[in-house]
Structure 1
């Protein structure tokens, strides 16, 4: 049997394009599911912090943060957020920047690694991004993260211990080192089968195309007689 295609995804919980890219990847792979020879795919999420100097409890709105961080006029920031909200809606996401609580995301990344160890990384990523962008939940404090982890089906006590002891912080840092080695300077960034790099929240059709292409290449290579 041909091995599954591995898609490594570098993203940040606080990146609006990352949630859109995640959803578009899922929709693209869903398009391939009906193929006679549907690609088998394994998706693994990796940590990337866009603003590691952000405080856990940022006082102000998303507009305030971006205006200060990017030096853009508040009106221009609002126009940008409105545009992103519209694109997110096309992906089936209901962004609420008016509710969003900007925070440091390192603990959320530790949680994603804890979830990976429990075999529920995909569920945890979805819960975190929905909580952050659609529900105005806090994703930077341990108590809040433990609550979200339980909602995603993880063992709450294990998660609390993992976050209190920074059990997975080294895994977060390893992901970030790998991103630097790859030359990744923005997210989302997708590495397909360790060979193809795809940057940005591409449309579903683009992800479907690359999955089919790589799967066909795999099939061709498997069919060739060994020397």
Structure 2
């Protein structure tokens, strides 16, 4: 039996991160058809595509967690990429998502994802991996498939309740308090210091790094490679991982 610990740096407002989740999940499912006893543990860490004001303020008081300023997603994409390029990106992402069985939409509102990451961090500490995964999926499905503004307190509370993180009152109290915000900021900074400039980014068993939403076969190859490492090296670190570091797929910058 092999164990795979996969550290995933992502943003809850990155479309390639949800596509990457779908592809990684397929890779794990295929792998377990041959190795049903192998274990996979996923841990999500934050990345800010849109740095929040709490993270960038240099003078004056730090803004409270809520309300969060949001704006139309298409407006943000047009400003970031230009109208023509934004339209091309939307069409490409719709087609790519459809290939994964996802129904991406690009209406609705968007804004800094700090509170979403705080909720994921809360889930990790109040329910473990299962709660974390339910929270990530709850945020992604609302944002990418239902055009819901996931910056609002009401939506985040709804996601937390759905993921069984506690009562609505408990989750609301946590979110409004601003707790864990500094820690989430620190972890997001750490990702940048490690050289991560786009997401999703995957680190597998502290040995290989994979950038971008890779094809499932790329992940399966590394899963098999790990079994070879275990057999030959006892799973020790230090095995040449250059080929994995060369794996670069599509992602958000």
TM-score relative to the length of structure 2? 0.80
Tell me which residue corresponds to 2:105.
96
Q: Which stretch shifts more, 162-171 or 119-128?
A: 162-171
Instruction: Measure how far apart 1:41 and its partner are.
Output: 1.4
Q: 1:218 to 1:194 in 2, by over 3 A?
A: same
How many angstroms apart in 1 are the aligned matches of 2:191 and 2:171? 25
- Equivalent residue number for residue 116 of structure 1: 124
Q: State the distance in 2 between where 1:121 and 1:215 align.
A: 27
Q: State the partner residue of 2:149.
A: 138
Q: Deviations over 1:73-122 (max 9, x none)?
A: x2331121011110011111110113x32122100000000111122101
Structure 2 match to 1:7: 6
CA contact (8 A) 1:12 1:49 kept: yes
Q: Is the 8 A contact 2:50 2:111 kept in 1?
A: no
Q: Quick check: 161-170 or 115-124, which moved more?
A: 161-170
Quote the residue 1:151 is aligned against. 162
In the TM superposition, what is the alpha-carbon distance from 1:214 to its structure 2 partner? 1.6
Structure 1 position 160, deviation (Å): 1.8
Which whole-Å CA distance do the structure 2 matches of 1:40 and 1:208 have between them?
14
Tell me the distance in 2 between the aligned counterparts of 1:50 and 1:162.
24
1:141 Cα deviation after fit: 1.7
Cα distance in structure 1, aligned partners of 2:26 and 2:68: 32
Residue 105 of structure 1: aligned partner: 113
| Mapped partners of 2:79, 2:215: distance in 1 | 30
Is 1:166 matched with 2:178?
A: yes
**Residue-pair matches, total:** 219
Q: How is 1:1-227 mapped onto 2 (pairs within 5 angstroms)?
A: 4-36=3-35, 38-53=37-52, 56-60=68-72, 62-70=73-81, 72=82, 74-98=83-107, 100-118=108-126, 119=128, 120-155=131-166, 156-222=168-234
For residue 185 of structure 1, report the CA deviation from its aligned partner. 0.4
Residue 10 of structure 1 deviates from its aligned partner by 0.5
SS for the counterpart of 1:146 is helix
Q: What is the rounded CA distance, in whole Å, between the counterparts of 2:222 and 2:171 in structure 1? A: 35
Instruction: Quote the RMSD (CA, aligned, Å).
Output: 2.1
CA contact (8 A) 1:97 1:133 kept: yes
What's the TM-score once normalised by structure 1's chain length? 0.88
Q: Return 36-45 or 148-157, whichever deviates more.
A: 36-45
Cα distance, 1:131 vs. partner? 0.6
Name the CA distance, whole Å, in 1 between partners of 2:210 and 2:139.
23
Q: Which has the higher contact order (CA 8 A, sep 6+)?
A: 1
Q: Distance in 2 between matches of 1:223 and 1:102?
A: 42
